Amino acid sequence: MALKNAQYDSIMKSYERTRDYNRELSENRRRAIYEALPDYARLDASVAELSVSIAKQMLSGDEAASQRLKGLLQDISVQKKELLAANGYPADYLDPIYECRDCRDTGYIETPDGLREKCHCFRNQEISLLYEQSNIRDMLSTENFSTLSYQYYQGEDLERFQKAVDICKNFVQNFKHDYHNLFFYGTVGTGKSFLSGCVANELLHRGCTAIYFSSQGLFETLARYSFEEKSKEALYNFYDDLYNSDLVIIDDLGTELTNSFVTSQLFSCLNERHLRKKATIISTNLSLEELHNRYSDRIFSRIINQFELCKLTGPDIRMLKKRNMSF
């Protein structure tokens, strides 16, 4: 599934608005600094004067002029940063402001071989539009490590949850150089989806791409594209995103209507992502025995051998929260 022209234009206009906003913010900061620190304004003015002077020397044949200019500009840059720091401002306070430093809010980056490709921030906006990722956006607004609480767990349940949190934090910390998968299973409402959201939130902030699917939604989408003749191109593009996104979350595995099509598609997803060393997180209320009975031996073997298993137990936290709110 590819972006429609209107969707593409909407994303590019959002980048334009971001650039305009940050330019204005930068200019406001600069004006305030000039007013508060006249010496800084003088240093800035000296850069233009030096550049003109050195340019004249270069035109007259002075071959060392360019190198002198470079050294002088470096000295001025150091003085400016020291002046800001001495007056309580961050040294980078007047550096250009970007929401995404990788693409500088253009949506595109240049590859090592000189090609132009979509930045991770563009891909996440694209994914959000194409796959209706409102669920994960809503989830991330409230479910992240900063809102994590241990108050609903006790004893062995608490130990399991603490261990799972540590595993998640290590997963995030080592994500870019250590291929890893997570499998959360256990009783209803014990924090499996919450921890998936915590991981996704951290990785999105670190510039990774992530797609969230409920198990039912994933296989319904695959079935729709697979059995509609006009959707072959959309299916190809969907597979490309499903197999190559940095992180795929499959939530509530087992809630879908399981059949041979679902089993085949799930195995293909797990296998292809494993071959590409792309991380997957699966959550389910099924026990390992139920998982084995419902899906093929190949799928069960993949999960047991290629995923780190995190069992969560305890009371249904969602029900406890609702009960507490009613008092």
Which residue, chain included where needed, has tokens 């959000």?
128
Domain count, the chain: 1
Q: Tell me how crowded residue 63 is: count the other CB atoms within 10 A of its CB.
A: 8
**Residue 1 reports pLDDT greater than 60:** no
In a domain, 57, yes or no: no
Burial of residue 149, with CB atoms counted within 10 A of its CB: 0-12 exposed, 13-18 middle, 19 or more buried = exposed
In a domain, 95, yes or no: no
In a domain, 265, yes or no: yes
Each residue's pLDDT tens digit, 62-104: 667 777 777 888 888 899 999 999 999 998 999 999 999 999 9
- pLDDT number for residue 268: 96
Each residue's pLDDT tens digit, 274-320: 999 999 999 999 999 999 999 999 999 999 999 999 999 988 887 77
Domain containing 138 equals 131-326
Q: pLDDT tier at 165 (50, 70, 90 boundaries)?
A: very high
- pLDDT number for residue 61: 72
Give pTM, 2 decimals: 0.76
**Residue 141 reports pLDDT greater than 80:** no
Better pLDDT: 254 or 205: 254
254: domain CATH number is 3.40.50.300
In a domain, 6, yes or no: no
25 contact partners, CB below 8 Å, separation of at least 6: 97
In a domain, 252, yes or no: yes
In a domain, 22, yes or no: no
In a domain, 102, yes or no: no
